[in-house]
Chain A
């Protein structure tokens, strides 16, 4: 059974710091990786996707993928209180249609 593991947190960082969120996955055939942000009581919102080893940057967000170590991370630079949310890691095996396997999420708290 495919598993996606995240530290549930909460991860607390001061405003302006870098927040580092980590995710490991068990299925070596996983090919697509996604980070979703979910505010309390709301639905998940896609913020980053990554497919190749290395880094992918989008504004204050950087996704990092290491397929050999089965590890994907999300860095948030200059963290803001509005970044406080639960961050969900999701992986997809391209042979499984568009089914995503999600981790349990990491709760991030950015303190002013």
Chain B
């Protein structure tokens, strides 16, 4: 079975541009969560979606938005990019909206560099 897949793996954008990151969950998983990990820090929660509805939102500005599709894949959009948005963006999937006893598995991430 494929794990959580994210695309693209690397991305370079200019300040002020917009970016869309994509995530496909593990087959059968209905919840997708997004995290931002700045170099040298732990991941920070951005969004959780379950059954196409937003179930949680972290302390991020409105420039960050996301959605989940009927096939449970998800997109994270960031508008008006700032240099500080440079980070590794991680996606994780789980069966339901809560955590299982096994936590959840991250995808390999998208490395976003804003110049």
Contacts and interface: CB of A to CB of B under 8 A. Distances in A.
Contact of A98 (B31, B40, B44, B58): B31
Given A99-B33, A99-B58, A44 B99 contact: no
Interface in B70-112: 88, 90, 92, 94, 97-99, 101-109
B48 A99 contact: yes
Instruction: Report, as a range, how many residues of chain B touch the other chain.
Output: 20 to 34
Nearest to A6: B42
B56 A99 contact: yes
Contact of B42 (A45, A46, A92, A102): A102
A71 to B, nearest CB: 17
A36 to B, nearest CB: 8
Contacts of B41: 104-105
A18 interface: no
B106 A97 contact: no
Contact-size category for A: 20 to 34
Contact of B98 (A4, A43, A98): A98
A95 to B, nearest CB: 9
A105 B56 contact: no
Contacts of B48: 97-99
27 contacts: A32-B99, A43-B106, A44-B106, A45-B106, A46-B103, A46-B105, A49-B102, A49-B103, A51-B101, A88-B42, A88-B43, A92-B99, A94-B98, A97-B48, A97-B55, A98-B33, A98-B48, A98-B94, A98-B97, A99-B33, A99-B56, A99-B58, A104-B40, A104-B41, A104-B42, A105-B41, A105-B42
